[in-house]
C-alpha cells in the first residue's frame, strides 16, 4: 500500500513539473509573439514613413502609430464621387503603397487590405437620428467602394500584376460616424452622443487604408 502511494506521489510530482514546463513555454511563446508583432508594426511604420513622409503634408494625410494611412477630408461634403484631385493622389499613392505591403518583409503577415470611409456627424438640417445615421452609412460605404474601385482599376503595371492578391484581400467598409475624431486629434473607439460637440468635422470626414495583420 505504501509503495502504491509512493508511486502516485511520484506521478503527481512529474505531472506538476510538466505543467510548470508547459506554463513556462506558453508564457515564453506569448511574449515572443507579442514582441514579434511589435517589431513588425514598428518596421512597417518606418517603411511607410520612408516611402511617404515627404508627401503627407501636401496630401493632407497622416500615418498613425498603428499603421493606418489616413486621408483627411478628400471628398466634398455629401459627395461620394472621387474628386479629380484625390484621384491624382490615389494614382500616385496606391502603387507605391502596394509595393511596401507586398515586399517580402511584410506580405506574408497581411490578411486583409481594408479601405474605410468615415463621415462626420450630421446631415444638413435633418434632425432625425435614424435618417442621419442611415444617410451617413450609405455615404461612407459609397465613398469606400468608389476608392477601392478607383485603386483596383488603375492602369499601372504593378497594380495589374497584383490583381490576384487584391481580389483575395482588398475590401471596403463604410463606418459612418462610428469613430469620430475630436479637436484634439483623438479617435473615438465607439460613438456616443457626447462626441458630437467635440468632433473635428474635417478630420472625421476621411478615408483610411488599413493593413490587417494576422
Give the cell for residue 44. Answer: 512597417
Look at the pTM and tell me if it is higher than 0.95: no
Number of other CB atoms surrounding residue 74 within 10 Å: 21
Q: Phi, psi (5° rounding) for residue 132?
A: -60, -45
Q: What is the CA radius of gyration of the chain?
A: 24
Q: Which domains does the chain have, with CATH numbers?
A: 39-213 (3.30.1330.60)
Could you give the residue ranges of the DSSP H alpha helices within the chain?
2-52, 56-59, 84-101, 129-152, 157-161, 163-169, 201-204
User: Within its chain, how far is the Cα of 11 from the centroid?
Assistant: 50
Give the cell for residue 163. Answer: 490583381
Could you tell me if 62 and 203 are in contact, meaning their C-beta atoms sit under 8 angstroms apart?
A: no
> Tens place of pLDDT for every residue, the chain, 214 residues?
545 555 555 666 666 666 666 565 554 444 444 567 899 999 999 999 999 999 999 999 999 999 999 999 899 889 999 999 999 999 999 999 999 999 999 999 999 999 999 999 999 888 899 999 999 999 999 999 999 999 999 999 999 999 999 999 999 999 999 999 999 889 988 888 888 989 999 899 999 999 999 8
Sorted by sequence, the CB contacts under 8 Å of residue 104 that are 6+ apart come out as none
**DSSP-assigned beta bridge partners for residue 135:** none
Could you tell me if 131 and 122 are in contact, meaning their C-beta atoms sit under 8 angstroms apart?
A: no
DSSP string of 133-194?
HHHHHHHHHHHHHHHHHHHHT---HHHHHTHHHHHHHEEEEE-TTTT-BBTTSPBPSS--GG
Task: Give the three-state DSSP class for 90.
Answer: helix
Amino acid at each position: 500500500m505504501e509503495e502504491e502511494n509512493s508511486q502516485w506521489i511520484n506521478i503527481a510530482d512529474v505531472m506538476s513539473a510538466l505543467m510548470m514546463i508547459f506554463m513556462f513555454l506558453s508564457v515564453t511563446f506569448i511574449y515572443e509573439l507579442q514582441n514579434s508583432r511589435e517589431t513588425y508594426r514598428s518596421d512597417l511604420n518606418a517603411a511607410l514613413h520612408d516611402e511617404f513622409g515627404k508627401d503627407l503634408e501636401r496630401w493632407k494625410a497622416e500615418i498613425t502609430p498603428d499603421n493606418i494611412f489616413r486621408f483627411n477630408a478628400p471628398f466634398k461634403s455629401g459627395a461620394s464621387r472621387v474628386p479629380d484631385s484625390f484621384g491624382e493622389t490615389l494614382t500616385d499613392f496606391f502603387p507605391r503603397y502596394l509595393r511596401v505591403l507586398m515586399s517580402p518583409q511584410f506580405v506574408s503577415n497581411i490578411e486583409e487590405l481594408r479601405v474605410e470611409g468615415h463621415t462626420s456627424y450630421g446631415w444638413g438640417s435633418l434632425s432625425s437620428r435614424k435618417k442621419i445615421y442611415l444617410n451617413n452609412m450609405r455615404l461612407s460605404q459609397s465613398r469606400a467602394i468608389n476608392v477601392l474601385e478607383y485603386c483596383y482599376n488603375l492602369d499601372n503595371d504593378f497594380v495589374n500584376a497584383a490583381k490576384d492578391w487584391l481580389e483575395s484581400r482588398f475590401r471596403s467598409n463604410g463606418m459612418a460616424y462610428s469613430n469620430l475624431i475630436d479637436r484634439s486629434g483623438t479617435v473615438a473607439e465607439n460613438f456616443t452622443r457626447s462626441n458630437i460637440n467635440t468632433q473635428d468635422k474635417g478630420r472625421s470626414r476621411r478615408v483610411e487604408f488599413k493593413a490587417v495583420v494576422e
